Amino acid sequence: MKIGHCGFSFHTNGYFETKKNGFDTYLFRVQTEGTSEAMVNNQAFTMEKGDLLLVAPGQSYQLSIDANSKSSDFHLFFSGDWIDQWWRRSDKPTMVKIELEERILTLWRFLVAEKRRPLTNQNSELMESLLRSICLFIERTIEDRSAYIRPFVVTKMMRFIEENATTTFTVNDVAEHSDLSVSRTVHLFKEYVGKTIMGYAQEIRLSTAIDQMKHTTMTLEHIAFNCGFGSYPYFHRVFKKVYGVSPGRYRKTE
- pLDDT tens-digit readout, 191-203: 999 999 999 999 9
How is the chain split among helix, strand and coil, in percent rounded to 5? 50, 20, 30
- Pick from 6-10, 15-19, 101-105: least confident: 101-105
pTM recorded for the entire structure: 0.70
Mean pLDDT, residues 231-241: 94
Per the DSSP assignment, residues forming a β-bridge with 77 are 27
Task: Specify the CATH number for 149-254; select among 3.30.70.1560, 3.40.50.2300, 2.40.37.10, 1.10.10.60.
Answer: 1.10.10.60
pLDDT in the model for residue 102: 80
pLDDT value at 174 more than 90? yes
pLDDT tens by residue, 96-143: 988 777 888 899 999 999 999 998 898 999 999 999 999 999 998 888
Q: How far apart are CA 19 and CA 60, in angstroms?
A: 6
Buried b (16+ CB within 10 A) or exposed e, 164-179: bbbeebebebbbebbe
Supply the mean pLDDT for the chain: 92
Residues near 23 by beta carbon (within 8 Å), at least 6 away in sequence: 55, 57, 58, 61, 77
Nearest residue to 234 (alpha-carbon basis) of 207, 202, 200, 211: 202
> Which DSSP state fits 120?
G
**Percentage of residues in the chain with pLDDT exceeding 70?**
99
More confident site: 140 or 185: 185
pLDDT tier, 168 (very low <50, low <70, confident <90, very high otherwise)? confident
So what CATH class is 2-146? Answer: mainly beta
- Residue ranges of the chain that CATH labels 1.10.10.60: 149-254
- Residue ranges of the chain that CATH labels 2.60.120.280: 2-146
pLDDT tens by residue, 242-254: 999 999 999 988 7
Q: How far apart are CA 245 and CA 254, in angstroms?
A: 12
pLDDT in the model for residue 147: 62
pLDDT tens by residue, 139-156: 988 887 776 678 889 988
pLDDT in the model for residue 148: 62
